[in-house]
């Protein structure tokens, strides 16, 4: 086992934590963009958060508020969708596997991965396509939050019409994954056109450096 990863932790406590979970991390690492050593560092953050919140180490869980507030993702409604995309559920807790997957996506995720993730966030009914009503609901919540004007309905309807014309490649009245993929591949700025579901990259780096300031950039 390599040297201590974090001087702020008790060495024996860190060793026990790493020894207990090393096998699980080896499995998690296969589905991330991290080396095993890098994933160990990510999981030390998980452990430190667990200790801060007085969660028992045996629980292997932390609050999803870490992603919500720690990464500046302050939209509570969209946070529910983020958990569906990351963990296929809406649990108030984040597992080690979900935490590793999220940090991999947010730090090193490819455009292809981000497209699949964003589409899942937006597919409220799990139908594999986005109806006009779904787009309206998403954009209304997003626009209402940014606007002081209570009457945003007409503006949202106009935006939905514009988005459908731009993204509905096969002209069937809905945006399926292929439509979304084609549109975002051509114009990456459309990735979060229906709501902010990804943290800003600087916020992720700030989060990592806050918890482990001695580390070099991941």
Which of 11-20, 41-50, 52-61, 93-102 comes out lowest in average pLDDT? 52-61
Residue that is written with structure tokens 């051509």 in the block: 186
User: Is there a single domain that holds both residue 65 and residue 117?
Assistant: no
pLDDT at 61: 86
User: Is there a single domain that holds both residue 186 and residue 206?
Assistant: no
pLDDT digits (tens, 9 = 90+) for 158-174: 999 999 999 999 999 99
Residue 166 covered by a domain:
yes
Residue 4 covered by a domain:
no
Structure tokens at 23: 């096998």
User: Is there a single domain that holds both residue 99 and residue 144?
Assistant: no
CATH number at residue 148: 1.10.238.10
User: Is there a single domain that holds both residue 100 and residue 167?
Assistant: no
> By percentage, how much of the chain surpasses pLDDT 70?
88
Query: Model's pTM, two decimal places?
Result: 0.86
Contact 85, 161 (CB under 8 A): no
Residue 3 covered by a domain:
no
Residue 1 covered by a domain:
no
User: Is there a single domain that holds both residue 118 and residue 101?
Assistant: no
Residue 5 covered by a domain:
no
User: Is there a single domain that holds both residue 64 and residue 150?
Assistant: no
**What's the average model confidence in pLDDT over 41-56?**
85
**What's the average model confidence in pLDDT over 117-124?**
96
User: CA 45, CA 40: separation in Å to the nearest integer?
Assistant: 9
Which of 69-83, 107-121, 148-162, 194-208 comes out lowest in average pLDDT? 148-162
Residue 79 covered by a domain:
yes
The DSSP H or E segment spanning 104 is helix 96-108
User: CA 135, CA 193: separation in Å to the nearest integer?
Assistant: 10
User: Is there a single domain that holds both residue 104 and residue 205?
Assistant: yes
User: Is there a single domain that holds both residue 74 and residue 128?
Assistant: no
If one counts the domains in the chain, the total is 2
- Band of residue 148 on the pLDDT scale cut at 50, 70, 90: low
- Band of residue 5 on the pLDDT scale cut at 50, 70, 90: low
Residue 195 covered by a domain:
no
Residue 6 covered by a domain:
no
Q: Which domain holds residue 94?
A: 11-110+200-211
User: Is there a single domain that holds both residue 77 and residue 59?
Assistant: yes
**What's the average model confidence in pLDDT over 21-30?**
93
User: Is there a single domain that holds both residue 130 and residue 54?
Assistant: no
User: Is there a single domain that holds both residue 17 and residue 124?
Assistant: no
Which of 104-113, 142-151, 168-177 comes out lowest in average pLDDT? 142-151
pLDDT digits (tens, 9 = 90+) for 125-144: 999 999 999 999 998 887 76
pLDDT at 145: 58
Would the pLDDT of 211 be above 90? no
């Amino acid at each position: 086992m390599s040297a201590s990863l974090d001087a702020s932790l008790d060495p024996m406590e860190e060793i026990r934590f790493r020894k207990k979970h090393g096998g699980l991390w080896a499995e998690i690492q296969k589905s991330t963009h991290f080396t095993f050593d890098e994933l160990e560092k990510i999981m030390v953050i998980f452990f430190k958060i667990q200790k801060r919140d007085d969660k028992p180490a045996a629980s292997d869980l932390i609050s999803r508020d870490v992603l919500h507030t720690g990464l500046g993702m302050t939209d509570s409604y969209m946070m529910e969708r983020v958990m569906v995309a990351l963990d296929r559920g809406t649990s108030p807790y984040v597992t080690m596997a979900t935490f590793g997957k999220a940090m991999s996506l947010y730090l090193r995720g490819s455009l292809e991965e981000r497209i699949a993730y964003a589409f899942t966030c937006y597919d409220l009914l799990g139908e594999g396509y986005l109806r006009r009503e779904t787009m309206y609901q998403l954009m209304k919540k997003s626009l209402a939050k940014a606007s002081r004007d209570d009457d945003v309905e007409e503006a949202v309807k106009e935006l939905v019409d514009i988005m459908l014309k731009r993204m509905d490649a096969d002209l069937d009245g809905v945006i399926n994954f292929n439509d979304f993929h084609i549109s975002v591949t051509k114009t990456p700025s459309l990735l979060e056109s229906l709501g902010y579901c990804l943290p800003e990259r600087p916020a992720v780096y700030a989060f990592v450096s806050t918890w482990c300031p001695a580390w070099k950039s991941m």
